Amino acid sequence: MTSPTQTTFWRSILSFTALLAVLAIFDTFQLAEKLQVNPFSSKSVLGMLAFFTLTVLLSGAALALTLSGYRQKTFSTLEVSTRLAGWLRFAAIPAFLAILLAFPLLYALPEFRQLFGGNGIRFFIFWLLALAGMNSLKTARPTLDFPAVLAATLILQSVVNLAASYLPAITDYPFAMGWSETSRFYFPSLFFSEKIYGQSYPWPILHPSLHLLLAPPYWFEAPLWFHRAWQVGIRFLMVGLISPALLSRFGRTRRGGLYWLAFAWIFVYLFNLPLYLHLPLTVFPLLWLFRAEDDRRTWILLILTSIWAGLSRLNWYPMPGLILAALYLLEERRKTKETISSLSSFFSYFWKPVAWVFAGTSLAYTVSQVYISLSGNLPGDFFTSISSDLLWYRLWPNETYPLGVLAGILLFSLPLWILIAVERTNIFRGWSEHREIFHSVALFAILLVLFIGGIFVSMKIGGGADLHNMDAYAVLLLIVAAYSFFRAEKPIPWQVVALLVLVPAWFAQQPNSGVARYDKAASQATLTAIQQRVDASEGEILFITQRHLIAMKMLTGVTLIPEYEREDLMEMAMANNVAYLERFEQDIASQRFSAIIVDPLKFNLLGSDYAMGEENNAWARRVVKPVLCWYREDETFPADRVVIYVPREEGRQCP
């Protein structure tokens, strides 16, 4: 890697700081408008404006001094941390650790988030803490370069904030936190249904491999907090294993600072997507174990990972073959400079990666069909997303995802594409080296197909709220970019490295940490009331939500009704699975259930100018309305977002 000069570095730092402060000023005016206060009469808002403006002025003044005869004195002042000694040097490391923790601790406070929640303000605070961390680390290790120390600080800040955003999920709060959490607890229990419920029930329809990974806490009667801790821990483990697996491709070099920074950067990149925790099992075994010259090992790896892909997501069926093909293309081009002189030599060289992709995809599809036949579900209940609506407007900035999927993924992947372009430009020695051209074209074609596929999936109703549906494209792009970085024939320009650090840091500072607080007595009272309803009931009780209460024996005496779990219902509603929804409506209209346990149901139609508006409407029309036509609220527990609905005595009354 190249390194900026002292002058370039400090001018860049001062300019970027001033720019972020200006963005923070705009955010502050928007905050004042949102709070409906005069920005010049509110002490809090006025104080923020004064601080941001002062930062702009000081940064601008320092930048001007670097253009004058006071340049060296200005640099000397900015680099005062290199001259600190004594007890300050010993205090620098604790100070550095405190700075790493400061951002998630501050944004764990709801009051702080409300006042400093704008993206411009957040990143400005994140940046100021990074500069403070840079100086602390530089005080402790004066021999390190300022650019390297700043990059390390930004990466480590990102790791800490991302990790902190998951830790609040570990709590003993008895009810579900968030839309899908209860499903993540309930679906794994279906693999042990005879043991847990006393009879056999169909296996999960959605993401079988995910729920297999979440099943081990059911091997013993683990409490709810342990299930939550398992989900967080297995996510960190599965996604985190990609880092050492990918870095192992580049030899057994000494594990110095660059190795650990690369390790942390890969972690940040994957968690920014975020990558689902069950998908890495199709990635890191290949990265660790693939050897192009060992065909037997390659086919065994392909078979095992394709089986797992077949139990995962439809768009991941070809991924094991594509990853092997990419590794083959990336590594074989380094071993020889021969040209592809004829059609026969072309096919003799490329037949293996083509065979891997075809065989792996076919095996994954076959495994999915075997699972469907064994699952106990109707075949029509699978792959429903194929027929669901496309919401093309989510490509652009919208309420569901302010960046828009297209701008979001382009920003997310831009630094890696620049890195790849720089390295590929360096390796070309003219168009006579046909193999280099074919390698590049083949890799680009694979990435383009995955990009288009990810865009298509993101536009499906239920998607487009973040970048996770671009995961296959992003993972393969990471692999290609890693080869460009670690096997570059020329030093990587520092501007490219700066983008590689700043863009992931911008994404990583957006999640919030926090502490899960709840009224234990009130939640226990809710649980007791539900148990009393179960004990008094003479008919079937449908738990659309909160099924983990049954699976984990927090409620007793409940006969589970496997149909109509919320995530399944939502999936069928979005896909307009007529057969499934007709069965649901018939059971509701016949008032089959003596009670229904679910979140509060409101029939409220929204437009596309609301976050997840189409999803809300599908749920409202195809689930909420039938229930409210035939059932009414009986008991409500607003603090825990639980409502008990009972049949209407007067018959059908629709909202």
- The predicted pLDDT at position 267 comes to 97
The pLDDT confidence band at residue 252, using thresholds 50, 70 and 90, is low
Residue 622 in this model has a pLDDT that exceeds 80: yes
Domain map of the chain by residue range?
6-169, 278-332+344-387, 395-486, 520-647
Instruction: Please provide the average confidence, as pLDDT, over all residues in the chain.
Output: 93
Please, which pLDDT band fits residue 254 given cuts at 50, 70 and 90? Answer: low
pLDDT at 70: 93
Percent of the chain residues topping a pLDDT of 70? 95
The pLDDT of residue 342 is: 52
User: Is there a contact between 541 and 136 (Cβ–Cβ < 8 Å)?
Assistant: no
Q: Residue 558 — left, alpha, or beta (φ > 0 → left; ψ -120 to 50 → alpha)?
A: beta
Query: What token pair was written down for 301?
Result: 């790896």
Secondary structure letter of residue 637 according to DSSP: E
* pLDDT of 246 strictly over 60: yes
The average pLDDT across 439-463 equals: 93
pLDDT number for residue 426 = 57
Please give the backbone phi and psi of residue 598, each rounded to the nearest 5 degrees, phi first.
-160, 170
Edge-to-edge strand ranges of the sheet holding 631-637: 540-543, 593-598, 642-647, 631-637
Region 331-350: what's the mean pLDDT? 59
Is residue 580 within 8 A of residue 558, CB to CB? The reply is no
Q: Which of the 8 DSSP states describes residue 635?
A: E
Q: What is the pLDDT of residues 511-564, one digit of tens each?
A: 998 878 899 999 999 999 999 999 999 899 999 999 999 999 999 999 999 999
pLDDT at residue 439, rounded to an integer:
77
Encode pLDDT of 299-323 as tens digits: 999 999 999 999 999 999 999 999 9
Q: Kind and range of the H or E element at 599?
A: none
Task: Give the DSSP letter string of 378-447.
Answer: -GGGSSGGGGSPB-GGGGS--SSSTT-HHHHHHHHHHHHHHHHHHHHHHH---TT-HHHHHHHHHHHHHH
Distance CA(337)–CA(541), nearest Å, equals 70
The answer to whether residue 625 scores a pLDDT higher than 50 is yes
Q: What is the pLDDT of residues 76-120, one digit of tens each?
A: 999 998 888 777 788 999 999 999 999 999 999 988 998 999 889
pTM, entire model: 0.94
What pLDDT is attached to residue 526? 97
Helical spans, DSSP H, in 493-560: 494-508, 520-536, 548-551
What is the tally of helices (H) and strands (E) in the chain?
27, 4
Query: Which residue stretches of 2-145 are H helix?
Result: 6-35, 43-65, 71-78, 87-106, 110-115, 119-140
636: β partners:
643
Q: What is the pLDDT of residue 257?
A: 83
Has residue 431 got a pLDDT over 50? Answer: no
Q: How far is CA 564 from CA 177, 205, 228, in A?
A: 19, 12, 24
- Of the listed ranges 174-178, 342-346, 360-364, 548-552, the least confidently predicted one is 342-346
Q: Are 236 and 213 in contact (CB under 8 A)?
A: no
More confident residue, 424 or 169: 169
Class of residue 350 by CB neighbours under 10 A (exposed 0-12, middle 13-18, buried 19+): middle
Long-range contacts of 578-587, Cβ-Cβ distance < 8 Å, separation of 24 or more:
579/378, 579/380, 580/378, 580/380, 580/381, 581/622, 584/623, 584/626, 585/626, 587/563
Whole-number pLDDT of residue 387: 84
pLDDT of residue 471: 97
pLDDT classification of 345: cutoffs 50, 70, 90 = low
Backbone angles phi, psi at 467, to 5 degrees: -105, 10
Nearest alpha-carbon partner for 179 in 612, 534, 508: 612
